[in-house]
Amino acid sequence: MRAVMRSTKQHNKTMKNKPVLISSICVIALALCSPLLVSAKEKKSAESPAPSASPSASAAASPSMRAIPYHGMISAVDQSAKSFTIAGKEKSRVFMVTDKTTVTKDDQPATMSDIVEKEEVRGSYWKNADGSLEAKSVKLGAKPAKKKSKKEEAASPAPSATP
């Protein structure tokens, strides 16, 4: 009987010490992992580029930043400011044309002087930190009709000559 009581007392002692043991292990694990977390944060902040003074440089410098597509009719052009406006349903958008902007008309290279009012335009732009819109690409003229692929041509029946 004494042996049973002694083993029960030992068992009770270890059960009381278990939460303390588990807590101690958790604290030690956190202490060992915290330097790794700090160094990972430092690496991440060192890799991110510092904000630059010019908004156009920040848009092009950030490769993770994706260009946003646009499409519409040009409502105004300011040749001296190198910008054009597209009137929208809710508000107008003014796009700045820079040296980095590629301008094309009918798939041929074009210049800022080719951008005129009441012409259809599409392309992509970056939104700069100051809220301005920088055109990445400007494609002037109506979108060309899609050419049918060989599969589509084979699938469509040929028109018959009978009335």
pLDDT at 15: 63
Is the per-residue pLDDT at 57 higher than 60? no
Identify whether residues 62 and 136 lie together within a single domain: yes
Q: What is the mean pLDDT of the chain?
A: 76
3-state helix, strand, coil in the chain (%, to 5): 40, 25, 35
The answer as to whether 160 is a domain residue is no
pLDDT at 65: 76
Where is pLDDT greater, at 119 or 146? 119
Q: Please give the Cα distance from 153 to 157 (Å, whole number).
A: 8
Q: What's the distance, CA 114 to chain centroid? A: 30
Give the chain's domain count.
Answer: 2
The tens digit of pLDDT for each residue in 88-137 reads 888 999 999 999 999 999 889 999 999 999 999 999 999 999 999 999 99
Identify whether residues 65 and 133 lie together within a single domain: yes
SS3 145: coil
The answer as to whether 145 is a domain residue is no
Contact call for residues 136 and 127 (beta carbons, < 8 A): no
Helix (H) or strand (E) holding 78: strand 68-78
**Residue ranges making up the domain that contains 26:** 1-44
